[in-house]
Amino acid sequence: MKNILDGFIHFLINKFFPLLHYFFGFITGIIFCILFYFLFFLKRIKNEIQKSSVTETNLTQKEAKILIKKFSDKFKTEIKINKDEYMDILLNNLKILSYEIVVGFYPNSPYPYFELTIEESLLLFKYINKRLDKLFENRILKFFRHMTLRKIFVLRKMFIEKSIIKRYQKTKKKINTFSNVINLVNPFYWFKKLVLEQSMQIIFSKLGESIIIIFGEEMYKIYSKKMFSYQETSEKDLIKLLKEIELKNIDPNIENNLNK
């Protein structure tokens, strides 16, 4: 029995423990290699992020303001030429402006739009929505909130084609010579034709410019990781114009007419 116990102890000391020591050394080496590779991988990612990070020389606030003004002016000019393509022109200018801004920060990125985190993307939508919501709190713009986009642009097309004027005539008959003569001396007719119609076209123009400015400013703020010193010139012009129209009281039944 003593010989068996001595043999077992001899086996543990001379065979098992060295083998166990070798095994733990092997496992420790593997773990060390994995940790070293992981740290190297993290270091490489950090360097890549630093290389692609935003710097002051990428797109300055002054350059961003010039870009935003360029596309708001471009939109204003284009809708004067192609009045029936309002939405297409607005979306196209927003698309090109957003691309110009993101490329200004990530010129070498294959996917510059995807350089934002999920949180930053949500903040972008939140900021844009907040400013548009504030813009549509105006009494005249407020009833547009409950209209479908199709109805809004059908309405705008009616103003452009001057068919909205016919709805105020309370008749479906073709205007005859007599009614034309009456209209020539009817101040209310000219008030509606010259003031209401022109005002609605200016409102749509200013509204589009304001949307472009809001979109551009908020995109710059998120991508630059810093606050933007807002001008809000177009927004203020639009609000001022709407207040003037309210004071003039163009038509007390305008909201009812537009929602028919």
pTM of the entire structure? 0.59
Q: Residue 108's pLDDT band (boundaries 50, 70, 90)?
A: confident
Residue of 66, 118, 114, 75 whose CA lies nearest to 94: 75
Distance of alpha carbon 148 from the chain centroid: 20
Query: Does the pLDDT value for residue 195 go beyond 60?
Result: no
Looking at residue 73, its pLDDT comes to 92
Contact criterion met (CB below 8 Å) for 103 and 222: no
pLDDT of residue 112: 83
Predicted confidence (pLDDT) at residue 98 exceeds the cutoff of 70: yes
Q: Which pLDDT score is estimated for 94?
A: 94
Compute φ and ψ for 249, nearest 5 degrees.
55, 60
The Cα 18–Cα 12 span in angstroms is 8
Whether 221 contacts 127, CB under 8 Å: yes
CB 234 within 8 A of CB 210: yes
Q: What is the mean pLDDT of the segment spanning 46-50?
A: 61
Q: What residue type is assigned to position 89 of the chain?
A: I
Residues 6+ apart with CB under 8 A from 83: 160
Q: 156: Cβ–Cβ under 8 A, 6 or more apart, which residues?
A: 86, 200, 204
Does 9 have pLDDT greater than 90? Answer: no
* Both tokens assigned to 235: 């927004």
